Amino acid sequence: MTRIDIIGAGPGGLTCARILQRRGLRVTVHDRDAGPGARDQGGTLDLHADNGQIALREAGLLDEFFRLCRPEGQEMRQLSPSGELLFRLEPEPGELVKPEIDRGDLRDLLLRSLEPGTVRWGSALTAVGGPADGPRTLHFADGSTVETDLVVGADGAFSKVRPAVSPAVPQHTGVSFLEAWFEEVDTRHPELAELVGPGSAAAADGERGMFAQRNSRGRIRVYLIRRAGEATEAALLDEYAAWSPGWRRAISDHDGPYVHRPIFALPVPHTWEHVPTVTLLGDAAHLMPPLGVGVNLAMLDASELAVALASHDSVAAAVRAYEETMLPRSVETATLLEGGAEQLLSAEVPDFARD
């Protein structure tokens, strides 16, 4: 039986593994984390009806996703730095176009769906060896090796698999996030809870911005969006001095330290010559600014790759068929979003109906 090894146990890698197993194929997922609870999985994300939800349907998990998701999280608010509400987009009753789910809850849903032992934790890839026509050899940080017929790079922005098909490396977009979080917001941070509502709220003044998003279990995450990197709380309060007291409390009252998240993107267009034994999906293939498409595209990639592998007579034919669809789609999307990190700083009110 064909040996398939996926590097990365994020939503893309796990979705691919789930669909492969449903189709009767053998797969192993390797992840560098020591275990599923080794680190925080980040905030919340919206899964779109035209990509992320398609993948979950193919995985047989869409109904369970609907039981876990938060449709009210689709509400979006655009405010001014002074706190004035400029625009509010509320979902219709029963609307499930792009409901929210915490990243950790989505990962747990996918992990529960896999056969025991599918994910090998503490398995940090260092390099992909072997001839282009296979078999390939995976080299891990602990000195172990694995021989395989197909390597799927689902290992994110700084993929260790990508060099096997492409020399491209991510470049800093010039924009960075400082992430803060707030616990028990309805009782401990009621003003912020009122400002954000059940979904998300954003504001920007052309030079800096904030994006706040409701998560499950009474939590809100706030991202300070700036061209600069890390900064002290005093410096941030000075930088946002003209903003409303409500927004400034997102700087002074958060729970825990800031997490610095510089925003990177791959060059546009990013493509590669077909290699029959290695391919990429998600951020490993098409890292873009964080404008709501990353996880959705990763999961759609994963679904299409898994279905192709189950439907073709050879790995090479399946990989070629997958890339013939995935690469043009990712290039088109990346071209539309190129430079989009700067949009996060724009004081213009977005056209939510179009965007």
Q: 219, exposed or middle or buried, with CB in 10 Å at 0-12, 13-18, 19+?
A: middle
* 226 within some domain: no
Is the pLDDT assigned to residue 349 strictly greater than 80? no
* Cα distance between residue 79 and residue 243, in whole Å: 11
Phi, psi of 126 (to 5 degrees): -110, -30
pLDDT of residue 186: 95
Q: Is the pLDDT of residue 354 over 60?
A: no
pLDDT at 37: 80
- Mean pLDDT, all residues of the chain: 95
The pLDDT of residue 348: 82
- Between 39 and 279, whose confidence is greater? 279
pLDDT of residue 165: 98
Instruction: Measure the CA–CA gap between 275 and 261, rounded to whole angstroms.
Output: 32
In which band, very low, low, confident or very high, does the pLDDT at 292 lie, cut at 50, 70 and 90?
A: confident
Q: How far apart are CA 202 and CA 53, in angstroms?
A: 25
Cα 196–Cα 334–Cα 65 angle in degrees, nearest 5: 50
Residue 347 pLDDT greater than 90, yes or no: no
pLDDT of residue 236 exceeding 90: yes
pLDDT (0 to 100) of residue 350? 62
Judge whether 95 lies within some domain.
no
Q: How far is CA 219 from CA 76, 254, 283, 284, 300, in A?
A: 17, 11, 26, 29, 28
Residue 155 domain flag = yes
Domain residues for the domain of 331 are 4-72+101-170+266-342
Task: Tally the domains of the chain.
Answer: 1
Q: Is 76's pLDDT higher than 80? A: yes
Residue 39 domain-assigned (yes or no) = yes
Please check the confidence at residue 152 and state whether its pLDDT lies above 80.
yes
pLDDT of residue 351: 58
**How high is the pLDDT of residue 42?**
80
With a cut of 80, say whether residue 202 has pLDDT above it: yes
Q: For residue 281, which of 187, 126, 159, 190 has the smallest C-alpha distance?
A: 159
Q: Is residue 22 part of a domain?
A: yes
Which CATH number covers residue 109?
3.50.50.60
Distance CA 164, CA 276 (A): 11
In this prediction, residue 353 carries a pLDDT of 46
The yes-or-no verdict on residue 33 having pLDDT over 60 is yes
Asked, for residue 151, whether it belongs to a domain, the answer is yes
Q: Identify which of 154, 149, 146 has the alpha carbon closest to the alpha carbon of residue 132.
A: 149
Q: What is the pTM of this model?
A: 0.95
Q: What is the pLDDT of residue 125?
A: 98
In a domain, residue 156? The reply is: yes
Q: Is residue 334 part of a domain?
A: yes
Cα 206 → chain centroid? 25
How many helical (H) and strand (E) elements, i.e. helices and strands, does the chain have?
Answer: 11, 17
Percentage of the chain modeled with pLDDT above 90: 91
Residue 123 in this model has a pLDDT that exceeds 50 = yes
Of residues 310, 260, 249, the one with CA closest to residue 25: 310
